[in-house]
Structure 1
Amino acid sequence: MGENSYTQIDRLKDILKDKGYKLTPQRRAIVDIIIKNQGNHLTTEELYNLVKKECPEIGLATVYRTVLLLEEMGIITKLDLNDGCSRYELVNEDESHHHHHLICTDCGKVIEVEGDLLETLENEIELKYKFQIKDHSLKFYGLCSECSK
């Protein structure tokens, strides 16, 4: 993972530079936390609390602005898990689709489903409805293994 996160930071620097932004220490700290917590689907507030440990002087407004900027640039994507919070995850260049998520209605744990199981279904929908699908998002609600004991 170590090597991969360097290429992500480098890619990010290039994207920011192309759009006329700098990777400031605050932005870098925010991106580092997002990369370190890949798969954890952090809210902006959770992100802020983690970044504050690295940069005590950072303000919540800066974190909000950076999250919006990163989302606008397609570096992170917003996940709405129907709990009233916007959560974010890194956009993986190698994946053409989002992951699917399992959401525990008891403890709120979010589990990512690896692999895209919907390709066949997508192809059928595209053919049957002559509808060109660009992306999809799938959420399953239920109980995780801990809560169903």
Structure 2
Amino acid sequence: MSQQMLKKVLREKKQRMTAQRELILKVFLESNGKLMSLDDVYMQIRRRKNHKTSKMTIKRGIELLEELGIIRKIDFDDGVVRYELIDDVTDEVNAIFICENCGKAVKMEVSKEAIKNLLPKKDIEIKDFELKIYGICTECQV
């Protein structure tokens, strides 16, 4: 989703485009599909010069973007809620790698055909699936 599309959605919902909301969206756009927690977004914004946005403002901005259908909440039941920018092309998350050391989560594309090849019987029709893969990311292996 582009910033122009966000502005249009906000206008339709009678919401203003604030600098903080624009910055939150920019962080998600620059994440390249990476799942991000509130703390991840907060740290990305704090690293930028002259941005003193509070964590509560970021939390409210994220909640609004989720309510508007621009980002999606993903909960792995590990105590850290993560969010991702909704991609218009692939709207479903079907596989996620989660680092057991640092908690980083990365969305992965896995085809139904690849999953079907793992099944003991090949005549099973897969309608949908969700896969969580736990391990240690390359940064934590060093």
Q: TM above 0.5, one fold?
A: yes
Unaligned runs of 5+ in 2: 117-123
Q: SS at the partner of 2:69? A: coil
Matches within 5 A, 1:86-105: 86-105=81-100
| 1:109-124 mapped onto 2 (5 Å cutoff) | 109-117=104-112, 124=125
Q: Distance in 2 between matches of 1:120 and 1:56?
A: 44
Specify which structure has the higher proportion of helix: 1
User: Which residue does the alignment assign to 1:43?
Assistant: 37
Asked if 1:22 is matched to 2:16, the reply is yes
Count, aligned residues: 134
Match of 2:134 in 1: 141
Report if aligned partners of 1:97, 1:116 keep a CA contact under 8 Å in 2: no
CA distance, structure 1, for counterparts of residue 102 and residue 39 of structure 2: 19
* Higher RCO (C-alpha 8 Å, min separation 6): 2
Q: Calculate percent identity across the aligned residue pairs.
A: 31
TM-score normalised by the chain length of structure 1: 0.72
Residue identity in the other structure for 1:13 = K
Structure 1 unaligned residues grouped into runs of 5+: 1-6, 127-132
> What residue number does 1:62 align with?
57
> Which of 48-57 and 11-20 deviates more?
48-57
Aligned Cα root-mean-square deviation (Å): 2.9
**Can you list the C-alpha shifts for 1:97-130, whole angstroms capped at 9, x where unaligned?**
1241112324434332224437987x9365xxxx
Q: Distance in 2 between matches of 1:34 and 1:89?
A: 7
1:55-76 residue CA offsets vs partner (Å, 9 max, x unmatched): 5232211111110000111100
